[in-house]
Amino acid sequence: MPTPSAAVLHDLHRRMVRIRHFEENCGRLSEAGKLPGFLHLYVGEEAVAAGVCATLSDQDKITSTHRGHGHLIAKGGDFKRAYAELFGRSTGYCGGKGGSMHICDMELGMLGANGIVGAGVPIAAGAGFAADYTADGTVAVAFFGDGASNIGAFHEGINMAAALHLPVVFVCENNEFGEYTPRDKTMAIIDIASRAEGYGMPGVIVDGMDAVAVYEVATEAVARARRGDGPSMIEAKTYRYYDHHGVVGLRVKYREESEVEAWKARDAIEHLEANMAKAGIQSLEESQAVQDEIAAEIAEAIAYAEASPMPEPETLADGLYTARAEPPLPELPRGDRKLSYVQAASETVGQLMRADDTVFLAGEDVGGYGGAFRNFAGLYDEFGENRVVDTPISEQAIIGLGIGAAVSGLKPIVDIMFMDFIAVAMDQIMNQAAKLKYMFGGNAVLQMTITTFGGAGLSGAAQHSQSLESFLCHIPGLKVVSPSSAYDMKGLLAACVREPNPTILVGNKMLLGVSDMVPEDLYEIPLGVADIKRAGTDVTLVSYGRMLHECLGAAEVLAAEGIECEVIDPRTLQPFDTETVVTSVRKTNRAIVVHEAVRFGGFGAEIAAQIQEEAFDHLDAPVGRIGAPFSPVPFSPVLEAIYLPNRSTIAEEIRGILGQPAARGAA
């Protein structure tokens, strides 16, 4: 490869100096007590970020690490906005919502620093998927440390990129320490790049203290990705001069001073300056002038940040959700056409994909098989493998694929077969999908839908039968729906996919074959609006999913005894329609919440609390709660039958709250 031009060398030098001055000043400000929160300095590793980012355009995407302002500055980040963010000011990149570990610049394609080790790897795969999907010629780069190569998300993400042949470059900044533990104590290999071969991609090792060498290997890897030849990995052997975390003056004794000094003797900036001077490209005096110029910019930026206002208290929740710009589709009458629960799901996804070519479907077995429950049957035949994507069995990577694609402008529907497997992907759901927009100060759109099926009844036992909706409803940034009929499935699924925020649709496995009258045209059921499935005057029953049908069955039984139940289906669990429920309770004066999840700590407890807070003076009895016992779901059909609430147990609870005698033969 020919020696880089003088223009490239000037560019590499300026990028590294910008990072060094920014970071050194961050350390001094932190040491002076002026910067809140955690600080991870990038000093010493500048050649890696500069060498890679010099090969990228503003449209190319990067994901970063907790040491991410080095990557931001290398990508062309603004000093003033960056310092303002680290000071927690409203003029910062994220309005003070993200800070050091979550700083981003979406306009520069910098998809955020990330406080979770390795989490950016599957997101970069998603950004690469979007680049491949739109054929826009861009690439994605994932920066990560040597410690991240031991994280499951790393392996899932690079395998996903390799399996789908995506334009992604994985850059390992191997500084030989995962926090304070040396690399040789955490892995049995010397070269992390050797792992690339196992995933079917090339891996190259480069001196991470040589910006020119990094630029050369990055140029080749990025060109390979742009050509459509797939992903590759670069391992840059580098070193951080300061501790994993902390300020300039703070040292933890975990490495010898002589080791640090030996790496400093190879300093990338000093060596490039010396080589440029020797080659007559830029004298040492000219290099010093660049240093002085950037130092002046830094001083101005710090003054700007310190003078900037703090966020106003009323902006606390700003940026959590994106307001919907387009009007919702109108809800339609049911008509006279019958579809099953899963047929409604498949039809809806097909109609959404026909209407909008940025909508795609990805997940395990969603292609030729049509999904584990045939809820996507027929879609692969119509749309092909580019829009109905069979993925590896990699739940973290599936969600990461959706996140990266969504922040890149697509509208993914990603499927997690069983709700139990949500737990496997919880970091990508909870710490990434739900929080990125907020941490980025609202400067991102994550229009993505996660579909899954929960619930017991098929003898799936403890790991394929859980109802975990309360976990999801507790996470700000997500919206969660639970359709109980084919009609609701279609309307809620359409609303989720058209909603400009991360949504999760939780289906129920025992409703797969339940049929209902469903309009053929596309329509929406507004999120956050409950439905009164049966009117009544004596007690309010609140339930969703399969248990709604058990409540309706109990209401039928009790109607013959003169007890009229009002049955409410929330349909959307987050945001929850408290008003409809409270209005009903003020009429009936009694309430029972029913779900098949474990009763203790279940979502019913939150509904009961809302009722207590809003309608306490109207209650003639405590709010009742019915759910499963505090036990995993059993395998035996006999045990599973008694584990789940049913119409008989619900009816008995209602009689008790009304002070009625038990019905003869009631369970």
Q: Which residues are catalytic?
A: 464
**Are the C-beta atoms of residues 6 and 283 closer than 8 Å to each other?**
no
* Residue 539: both structure tokens together: 């007690």
CB atoms within 10 A of CB 150: 15
Distances (CA, A) of 175 to 157, 264, 294, 579: 21, 13, 26, 55
Measured distance CA(245)–CA(243) in Å, rounded: 5
- Between CA 28 and CA 38 the distance in angstroms is 14
Rg (CA), the chain: 28
Tokens 């990067």 appear where? 62
What is the residue-wise DSSP string for 605-667? HHHHHHHHHHHGGG-SSPPEEEEE-SSPPPSSHHHHHHHS--HHHHHHHHHHHHTPPPPTT--
Strand partners, 592: 541, 624
CB burial of 398-422 (b: ≥16 within 10 Å; e: otherwise) equals bbbbbbbbbbbebbbbbbbbbbbbb
Phi then psi dihedrals of residue 406, to 5 deg: -65, -45
Q: What are phi and psi of 79, to 5 degrees?
A: -60, -45
Element (H, E) at 159: helix 152-163
Q: How far apart are the first and last CA of the chain?
A: 81
Looking at residue 427, the DSSP 8-state letter turns out to be I
Q: Are 585 and 540 in contact (CB under 8 A)?
A: yes
Report the run of H or E that residue 147 belongs to, with start and end: none
Eight-class DSSP state of 105: B
Cα distance between residue 275 and residue 127, in whole Å: 37
Beta strand 531-534 with 565-569 is: antiparallel
Q: Output the CA–CA distances (angstroms, integers) from residue 378 to 349, 367, 368, 493, in the order listed.
A: 11, 8, 8, 17
How many separate helices (H) and strands (E) can be counted in the chain?
A: 22, 21
**Residue 244 has what DSSP assignment?**
S
Positive or negative torsion for Cα 375, 417, 410, 505 = positive
Tokens of 538: 């004596």
| Helix H or strand E segment including 405 | helix 395-407
In DSSP notation, 487-530 reads HHHHHHHHHHHHSSS-EEEEEEGGGTT-EEE--SS---PPTT--
Q: Do residues 450 and 416 lie in contact, with contact meaning Cβ atoms separated by under 8 Å?
A: yes
Whole-angstrom distance, CA of residue 171 vs CA of residue 179: 18
What are the tokens at 615?
């309608």
Contacts of 36 (CB under 8 A, 6+ apart): 87, 88, 99
Place of tokens 């045939």: 374
